[in-house]
Structure 1
């Protein structure tokens, strides 16, 4: 049995609930049988694709393949045919695993298919077929494709070692045990929803209740029925913050939770404060990405400081560097640098792309994240944006878009905000604010917003241009797609 999932071995945990999606659930014994059947069916494959819908079949398929030591390529069901075609041609899986009766699009239909029935496990079958590769830590476990904002998606090869290291480091930081019951409604084709949200509870021997589709009513129901942890992205927590004044059961639920975790993008300070004021509970944030899994987190017993992502996890080294590669030595909360990391949590490279892999690492082995941050004197990390889209050089200053966005979101007339830079003959770049107003008939003026930011941050960080929008462009994870914002 794979060492990634010690709780799947026979023992006292066999009758404990492992997974629940809607009305369907599996105990550890049932999951072991179902995943063992999958493992036996795929053990000769070089790699497999999984049609990653939010249901039991996906979790059984992934668990079974990992038990057999076969790498998994999770496929986003919302991807277009061109993107799916690229991913399948690039990764060349031997077959696709999907729920029985699931209709698959044209590029995926060309693969041999294995239907995964969560109720079809053979309890007597050997789970990994006798020659499992479970102890080879550097073997690939997942090949997760990046968003492809600067070209076709690249397949990040995530070894078994990285999954184990990240989940064990988070167990230490979050005091995560087999008593915890996790609630989430995230997709299962990326690191947050699949690795943290499903493999995390299974590695600990706890359980996960997946909502299928996120709703505040579902969150309230599960947390009030004994769940202890909630994982979400900022869009979800924003909806929670909006709903709290009119949903007393949601207030009660969040107040009773042991841990509320947000990730995948920065949670605006305004939403932090609204949730804390209503429930007495702070949301903690963590920082990671596909290629590195998790790098930092606020600890369960640490200070949940809005706007920060905590400190490096055990085993993770983190440094900030200037554009010339020299190290930022000032932990003053102001000096901005690019985050570079190294540790057992890192991927091994991009599939079939040695050029891209080499470019992603420094000569001394640090991964270039492309994220810009400052460090507080006590080591807390505060992300200020992406190097490519969120670092604005204006009037001789290096300015992170994220802190301006947080300031704008504190204005009572602003519902959503994004900040970019555009060329300016005098300043080099000028700060541009993209605003979704609370009242479209009476949007805040440039003068109002510039004064608001100048008072909270500094005059040189005030926006010089404001655009009013009906909505901000976002991807499946709720991240704002700044490249879709046009200055024309």
Structure 2
């Protein structure tokens, strides 16, 4: 296949900005020289780890591994010793690439270490465009899943998946080499690394990483020539809160060409607040480690808050009942077929060049992840709206609630609760109930902890917004919701707060 990064070997982009982290930056020529020099040192390695700090060194290290055709394993610097030990034991990297001066914990420190040199060092060494593998199925990255149902599994991401996803997003978002992306996401997962770093580099565009996300950083970068912003719902929620008083932030967001949110659903309330203050809408997309990106709201499409848009070019999507019956799918030109009434819930299944190859060393888990006819089971539950947009209502394991004969998605109830002015954060789960099968439980962080809303008031609010059978039967108030590094709510951890949470039935 062709190079993942054509701009690295093009004379026309040599002086163009490529990467900036704080006050440190690299042009395409400098990136090509630094990554090319490191790639030469990686020849013959089977697999390498990357200590994924938010730094130029992480970006250069991953690009070098891709140039050398050596699969890279990004490591989360916040992971504990047990998780790191599992990942290293499973992936068996021969060395770790790291930012000079950064202390590595055990057991990472036991590996051979190569400090990534950027900038002036090695600038006389040209990039080596001939080293990239020609095989589209060649492994590029091994990205470990969150491990919510056991030890993390290593999803082997082939080169074709990276190329096809980034090219499909370029089509959906009208992404070009003239764009400048801003983000402050971690670099050990798909969103921050593949979309946020490799995405701009494949386009010949620039990325400015904030290091640590802040409204001030977003204002500064979007106010000085950046055109796109990537974030997760927690980040956009903070921006929505700050917009109440920050006119400079509103101006900066209003001047952006594209605002993209992902990794979890962005509440409709935050969509509306951001659009009202800036005149800009936030585009949502849907993907996961094993599939990279599956769907997106298009930059040239109609605003669809609360949905993740339509399938990306080349990606097949269908919704399936528990018995294997297909509820809805899309034909060759992207037109939905079957039942797309915005109410009928099914599991999202996908196939296409964007899919991972396997779970490393786990043929059993790999086989279980696919249907007999070759579709990947995402575990995400959704409906297809009448206009063809996919609307995710939750995870099959934690967010599909079967109550009183109805299949109810937790996500739509959470959105309804977040529209109530007395609610700051909300999560919804199901609990066993002798009468209903499962009862709907709402976990609420009130806007005013000293004066939380009445449980009945919240239940009635949901019933009015949605339907009576979707009203919470139990409401529990918390001071905060447990979240992971990406801002996703850890619903399995909610029961641990039961003893501290007042119960209002």
TM-score category (smaller protein): over 0.9
Task: Tell me the distance in 2 between the aligned counterparts of 1:171 and 1:370.
Answer: 27
> Is contact 2:227–2:256 with CA below 8 Å preserved after alignment?
yes
**Higher mean displacement: 245-254 or 13-22:** 245-254
**Higher mean displacement: 370-379 or 16-25:** 370-379
Corresponding position: 1:25 with 2:34: no
User: How many pairs are equivalent?
Assistant: 487
Corresponding position: 1:110 with 2:92: no
Residue in 1 that maps onto 2:246: 247
Task: Tell me the distance in 1 between the aligned counterparts of 2:428 and 2:382.
Answer: 16
Residue in 2 that maps onto 1:369: 378
Corresponding position: 1:71 with 2:80: no
> Is contact 1:229–1:260 with CA below 8 Å preserved after alignment?
yes
Shift of 1:124: 3.8
1:442 to 451, 471, 478: 451
Matches within 5 A, 1:288-299: 288-299=287-298
> Is contact 2:66–2:132 with CA below 8 Å preserved after alignment?
no
Task: Tell me the distance in 2 between the aligned counterparts of 1:252 and 1:80.
Answer: 41
Residue in 1 that maps onto 2:100: 100
Residue in 1 that maps onto 2:215: 216
- Superposed CA offset, 1:342-401 (max 9, x none): 000000010010000000000100000000000012210000000000000000000000
Task: Tell me the distance in 1 between the aligned counterparts of 2:146 and 2:198.
Answer: 22
> Is contact 1:414–1:438 with CA below 8 Å preserved after alignment?
yes
- Superposed CA offset, 1:157-179 (max 9, x none): 00000000000000000000000
Task: Tell me the distance in 2 between the aligned counterparts of 1:364 and 1:129.
Answer: 38
Task: Tell me the distance in 2 between the aligned counterparts of 1:67 and 1:417.
Answer: 44
Task: Tell me the distance in 2 between the aligned counterparts of 1:133 and 1:265.
Answer: 33
Residue in 2 that maps onto 1:331: 340
**Higher mean displacement: 417-426 or 299-308:** 299-308
TM-score scaled to structure 2, two decimals? 0.95
Residue in 1 that maps onto 2:368: 359
CA gap 1:129/1:252 in 2 versus in 1, 3 angstroms: closer
Residue in 2 that maps onto 1:91: 91
Residue in 2 that maps onto 1:177: 176
Task: Tell me the distance in 2 between the aligned counterparts of 1:325 and 1:422.
Answer: 26
Matches within 5 A, 1:80-229: 80-128=80-128, 132-229=131-228
Q: Which runs of 4+ in 1 moved over 2 A?
A: 120-130
> Is contact 1:2–1:67 with CA below 8 Å preserved after alignment?
no
Task: Tell me the distance in 2 between the aligned counterparts of 1:300 and 1:134.
Answer: 33
Shift of 1:129: 8.4
List alignment gaps of at least 5 residues for structure 1: none
Task: Tell me the distance in 2 between the aligned counterparts of 1:376 and 1:399.
Answer: 15
1:387 to 374, 393, 396: 396
Shift of 1:121: 4.2
> Is contact 1:285–1:298 with CA below 8 Å preserved after alignment?
yes
SS at match of 1:436: strand
Matches within 5 A, 1:466-485: 466-485=475-494
Task: Tell me the distance in 2 between the aligned counterparts of 1:335 and 1:151.
Answer: 31
Shift of 1:245: 1.6
SS at match of 1:435: strand
> Is contact 1:36–1:121 with CA below 8 Å preserved after alignment?
no
> Is contact 2:144–2:155 with CA below 8 Å preserved after alignment?
yes
TM-score scaled to structure 1, two decimals? 0.98
Task: Tell me the distance in 2 between the aligned counterparts of 1:221 and 1:343.
Answer: 39
**CA RMSD between the two structures:** 1.1
SS at match of 1:214: coil
> Is contact 1:342–1:366 with CA below 8 Å preserved after alignment?
yes
